[in-house]
Amino acid sequence: MSYIKDVKVKFEELRNKKDVTILAIESSCDETAIAIVRNGREVLSNVISSQIEIHRRFGGVVPEVASRNHLLAISNLYEEALKEANITINQIDAIAVTYGAGLVGALLVGVNFAKGLAYSQNLPLIAVNHIHGHIASNYISHQKLEPPFVCLMVSGGHTALLKISDYTKQKLIGSTVDDAVGEAFDKVARVLGLSYPGGPEIDKLAKKGENIIKFTVSNALSKTYNFSFSGIKTAVINYVHNKEQKKENICKENVARSFEECVTDELCTKSLRATKASGYKKLVIAGGVGANSMLREKMTNLAKKENIEVYFPVLKYCTDNAAMIGSAAYYYIQKGLGRADLSLTARPTIDL
């Protein structure tokens, strides 16, 4: 039988198979990652090669450099992932890969590796939306968590509120009209002279600072579920430049703390309001900024008062990884979605 016909049958069979073991690949930005996940919840292995150190000296991700380093890392990671899971490729039921959104050259490395592997092993290929992966990071973090819930998606590329009515059904109810929140963290960190990626650096510094500088977000969107972070980002940049021009000292800790308080207040207020309006009882956070300690603490306390259950991914699954892609792929398969053929290519932007 031809590859296409053969894997179509295999893909259909997976819906009724008791145990489904997926090898998943993620290379959308600066982490090359491969994981093996069983039945959407059990992570048998999760290996990551981070390029953070490589990009740090440039102050951000350099796309060309990212693609080359994905290429260098991916084959070894594949061997490692199988070894860590203590299984062979013959025990894998499907290959999943992030095909967007992300840096196109970086995505292409993962997509082409996945296509080669799927073809050579005669396995179904599942194309996964990176954002769906971030949402699924909560299924591998909380074994009992099930939809429906409201999801606050906060990463370097996205800021959105989504109504998740089922594993593969999501409705966008709000998003950023300009910068993603992670982007704002990274740019504020940069103006403060902190290293890349800025989010974790701001997080650390803010703990030592006081909330005494008056930064605000625009209230033009206050009645909606949309966000805007470019105003506060510019306000911080202007504050720092002003101080520098006047040769005044800048207390970086206070800047970080005041910025972080304002941004996390905005994220908490809108997500809790959206959850109450949805009638759902659960709020789930996804994406790299979900690692922020002030956001985790503030949201947990405020949600308790509203009788809303709040879930954050465990820290290792907040930022990019392949285990979350393997989990999302399992739920696609259950609904007969996501099957790709060898014409699959990378998509730099993609709808939620």
User: Which residues contact Zn ion (rule: CB under 5 A)?
Assistant: 155, 320
Q: How far is the CB of 241 from ligand KG4 (least distance, A)?
A: 22
Q: How far is the CB of 330 from ligand KG4 (least distance, A)?
A: 20
Nearer Cβ to Zn ion, position 221 or 350? 350
Q: What does the binding site for ligand KG4 look like in residue numbers (CB under 6 A)?
A: 29, 155-157, 182, 185-186, 197-200, 203, 287-289, 291-292, 319-320
Nearer Cβ to Zn ion, position 266 or 320? 320
Of these partners, ligand KG4, Zn ion, none, which one is at the site of residue 266 (CB under 5 to 8 Å by kind)?
none
Nearer Cβ to ligand KG4, position 11 or 99? 99
Of these partners, ligand KG4, Zn ion, none, which one is at the site of residue 110 (CB under 5 to 8 Å by kind)?
none
Q: How far apart are CA 154 and CA 136, in angstroms?
A: 14
**Tokens 């979605």 -> residue:** 337
Q: How far apart are CA 258 and CA 48, in angstroms?
A: 33
Nearer Cβ to ligand KG4, position 139 or 280? 139
What dihedral angle (degrees, nearest 10) is formed by the CA atoms of 164, 165, 169, 173? -50
Of these partners, ligand KG4, Zn ion, none, which one is at the site of residue 275 (CB under 5 to 8 Å by kind)?
none
Of these partners, Zn ion, ligand KG4, none, which one is at the site of residue 93 (CB under 5 to 8 Å by kind)?
none
Long-range contacts of 274-277 (CB under 8 A, 24+ apart): 274/150, 274/161, 274/163, 274/173, 274/174, 274/225, 275/149, 275/150, 275/303, 275/306, 275/308, 276/306, 276/308
Nearer Cβ to Zn ion, position 21 or 69? 69
**92 residue type, one letter:** I
Nearer Cβ to ligand KG4, position 21 or 32? 32
DSSP per residue, 82-97: HHHHT--GGG--EEEE
How would you class 328 by CB atoms within 10 Å of its CB: exposed for 0-12, middle for 13-18, buried for 19 or more?
buried
DSSP 8-state symbol, 328: H
Q: How far is the CB of 157 from ligand KG4 (least distance, A)?
A: 4
Q: How far is the CB of 31 from Zn ion (least distance, A)?
A: 9
Q: How far is the CB of 300 from Zn ion (least distance, A)?
A: 22
Of these partners, ligand KG4, Zn ion, none, which one is at the site of residue 258 (CB under 5 to 8 Å by kind)?
none
Nearer Cβ to Zn ion, position 124 or 133? 133
How would you class 58 by CB atoms within 10 Å of its CB: exposed for 0-12, middle for 13-18, buried for 19 or more?
exposed
Of these partners, Zn ion, ligand KG4, none, which one is at the site of residue 141 (CB under 5 to 8 Å by kind)?
none
Q: How far apart are CA 19 and CA 41, in angstroms?
A: 11
Q: How far is the CB of 268 from Zn ion (least distance, A)?
A: 21
Task: Mark out the alpha helices in the chain (DSSP H runs).
Answer: 3-14, 52-56, 63-85, 104-121, 130-141, 181-191, 198-206, 230-245, 252-278, 293-305, 315-318, 323-334
Q: How far is the CB of 289 from ligand KG4 (least distance, A)?
A: 4
